[in-house]
Amino acid sequence: MTSINTNTSAMVALQTLRSINNNLDETNNRVSTGLRVNSAADNAAYWSIATTTKSDNGALGAVKDALGLGSASVDTANTGLDTAREALQKIKEKLVTATAPETDKGKLQTEISSLLQGIRSTADSSVISGNNWLSVNNSGDTKDVVVSFSRTGSSIAVDTIQVNIDDFALYEDGTSTGIMDQSRRVANSEFTMSTLTGTPDMTGETVSFDFNGTEVQINAATVAAVGNNDNVVDSAAELAAVYDRAFADAGITGVTTQVDANGVRFSSTESFTVSNVTSVNTAGQAAALGLTNGSSTEAQFERTLGGLTGTPDMTGETLSFDVNGTTVTVDQTVMAGVGNADAVVDTVTELADAYQAALSNAGINNIDVRVDAATNNIVFGSNDEFTISNSRASTPANVGNLGMSDGEATITNGYDAGAVANIDITTASKGEIAGFLKIVDAALLDMTDASTKAGALTSRIESQESFVMALMDANDRAIGTLIDANMEEESTRLKALQTQQQLAVQSLGIANSSSQNVLSLFR
């Protein structure tokens, strides 16, 4: 039925055209923005996830920037360390030159002072973004380098690497504990003579020996000069005084003598050799005074621990500690290995044996363990520096019961050689220059360690940078999967909708023309 009031065909055609236009608008938006989810109205869940991920990616971008800044700080410090190390190596060469006879120490000191000033200038100028790791005001400073941003549910976390500036500082003006300005103690060279045999009578006797090529003589006059008019050496203490007098008479300085359990010990700031020991008159007189040929060695590093408390039972128990990072363990097996089947530590000697065995089991063979006869304390001794750390036990009280404690070994026989930054050889003796060489060597090792730590830190930061960039790329892919439009599909859909729109317009035109056909009926 044809009606002039209601054009059903036109209404259907119009609805179809509206639907097509809506779809066409939506497709046009996707094509123009490249997004299939452009707002929460398009897909609330996807839009929410994508928006949160975009925000997290922005935070990760800030982390990447922070890592770049941290890397730049480490690189700046490392560059400064390299420059300082080269200058310090030159100072070492100047000190070696200064040990030669008839060297102009004043001119060498001028060069050394210039190099020291250069190191200070390098440290002060190693600054980036207001941060200086080489020249600081106080020890104990730390710097945090941001390395990651993470989210768990609604909780977020920012992780950092904490950098101990003490590991890098050349100068610490507030505490003088930097590599260059810390006062350093160095070991003396020492050689222990045999013990005194009997009470040698030096009346009409002469004993001589060469100390680094200089002849030293001991005779009745030497003994009398220390207040012993009967010319008899009655004790080790008196013998030490006689040696002191003999060195003074020979014009040898910088040598001290000390009595210990093994005899009389010679100590000097420089290495030395005792040679050509001779009894001029009575054979064996030199031996009676304990004199022997030999060369000096550097004094030991020692760490004195506590003594034994009670009688700890190590059955099923363990005591562990780290020596320079290597873990050492005392347990029931160690006790059995030193002949203590019941695993009960009854004496401090048993404890010393157990520590020695445990060190050997851990592959540490350069530390000797002894018992201090005066205090009954355990003493670890070595020719090398060492540090005990991280002491722990399955029964915590056993750490103290077995005398263990953390700490750094110290030089048993040495002297304060001052700071590298204050080296002055203008009037220095050969022994003092030898001490300066030792502290420069120690500083070079510290700088090398600092550069090693800087290199490890740089590698860690670079690894984190790579990870953060990969994570940002993964987030971008996830965002794209959720909200990006498929342009191939959308372009095909756009062409189809444009064709449908044209057909719908034509269909609407045809439907609207049907009323004209009604007029023809009344002509």
Average pLDDT over residues 508-522: 70
213-227, 267-281, 469-483, 505-519, range with the lowest pLDDT:
505-519
Distance CA(382)–CA(377), nearest Å, equals 16
290 band by pLDDT with thresholds 50, 70 and 90: confident
| Whether residues 101 and 163 fall in one domain | yes
313-322, 465-474, 505-514, range with the lowest pLDDT:
505-514
410 band by pLDDT with thresholds 50, 70 and 90: confident
492 band by pLDDT with thresholds 50, 70 and 90: confident
pLDDT in the model for residue 173: 87
| Whether residues 193 and 314 fall in one domain | no
Distance CA(505)–CA(513), nearest Å, equals 12
* Residues written for the chain: 523
pLDDT in the model for residue 466: 85
- Domain membership flag for residue 226: yes
pLDDT of residue 34 exceeding 80, the answer is: no
- Domain membership flag for residue 45: no
Whether residue 335 contacts residue 426, with contact meaning beta carbons closer than 8 Å, is answered with no
C-alpha dihedral sign at 42, 48, 49, 50? positive
Query: Averaging pLDDT over each range in 18-27, 56-65, 200-209, which range is the top one?
Result: 200-209
Beta bridge partners of 386: none
Q: Tell me the pLDDT of the chain averaged across its residues.
A: 86
| Whether residues 226 and 126 fall in one domain | no
pLDDT in the model for residue 262: 62
Nearest to 46 by CA among 473, 481, 488: 481
What would the DSSP string read from start to end of 234-270? -SHHHHHHHHHHHHHHTT--SEEEEEETTEEEEEESS
pLDDT of residue 1 exceeding 60, the answer is: no
Q: Tally the domains of the chain.
A: 4
Whether residue 151 contacts residue 56, with contact meaning beta carbons closer than 8 Å, is answered with yes
| Whether residues 56 and 169 fall in one domain | yes
Average pLDDT over residues 290-305: 87
pLDDT of residue 323 exceeding 70, the answer is: yes
* Token output for 295: 């060369």
pLDDT in the model for residue 303: 93
11-20, 344-353, 460-469, range with the lowest pLDDT:
11-20
Query: Which of the listed residues 248, 275, 298 is the one where a domain comes to its end?
Result: 298
Distance CA(53)–CA(389), nearest Å, equals 45
| Whether residues 385 and 439 fall in one domain | no
Beta-sheet strands, E only, within 353-465: 367-371, 378-382, 387-393, 407-408, 410-411, 414-418
Half-sphere exposure of 302 (CA within 13 A, CB side): 15
Nearest to 268 by CA among 246, 251, 253: 253
pLDDT in the model for residue 134: 92
- Domain membership flag for residue 480: no
| Whether residues 60 and 158 fall in one domain | yes
- Domain membership flag for residue 505: yes
Residue 19: other Cβ atoms inside 10 A: 12
Report long-range pairs for 446-454 (Cβ below 8 Å, ≥24 apart): 446/179, 447/81, 447/84, 447/85, 447/88, 447/170, 447/179, 448/85, 449/167, 450/81, 450/167, 450/168, 450/179, 451/78, 451/81, 451/82, 451/85, 453/167, 453/168, 454/74, 454/77, 454/78, 454/81, 454/168
| Whether residues 518 and 394 fall in one domain | no
Query: Which of the listed residues 248, 272, 298 is the one where a domain comes to its end?
Result: 298
Burial 401-434 (b: 16+ CB within 10 A, else e): bbbbeeeebebebbbebbbbbebebeebebbbbb
- Domain membership flag for residue 117: yes
- At residue 198, φ and ψ (nearest 5 deg) are 70, -150
| Whether residues 172 and 194 fall in one domain | no
Distant-in-sequence, close-in-space partners of 7: CB < 8 Å, separation ≥ 6: 511, 512, 514, 515
pLDDT 10s digits, 420-438: 999 999 998 888 888 899 8
| Whether residues 319 and 397 fall in one domain | yes
- Domain membership flag for residue 419: no
Domain of residue 432, CATH code: 1.20.1330.10
- Domain membership flag for residue 479: no
- Quote the pTM value: 0.67
Nearest to 146 by CA among 63, 81, 226: 63
Average pLDDT over residues 471-482: 85
pLDDT in the model for residue 363: 95
Whole domain around residue 145: which residue ranges? Answer: 51-183+424-474
| Whether residues 248 and 209 fall in one domain | yes
| Whether residues 406 and 363 fall in one domain | yes
C-alpha dihedral sign at 161, 164, 165, 168? negative
- 8-33 helix and 487-512 helix, angle to the nearest 10 degrees: 160
pLDDT in the model for residue 264: 85
261 band by pLDDT with thresholds 50, 70 and 90: low
76-90, 102-116, 150-164, 312-326, range with the lowest pLDDT:
150-164
pLDDT in the model for residue 225: 92
20-34, 124-138, 288-302, range with the lowest pLDDT:
20-34
Q: Among residues of the chain, what percentage have pLDDT more than 70? A: 93
Query: Averaging pLDDT over each range in 100-109, 142-151, 321-330, which range is the top one?
Result: 321-330
91 band by pLDDT with thresholds 50, 70 and 90: very high
49 band by pLDDT with thresholds 50, 70 and 90: confident
- Domain membership flag for residue 41: no
| Whether residues 221 and 313 fall in one domain | no
Distance CA(512)–CA(9), nearest Å, equals 8
Query: Which of the listed residues 298, 320, 353 is the one where a domain comes to its end?
Result: 298
- At residue 362, φ and ψ (nearest 5 deg) are -85, 5
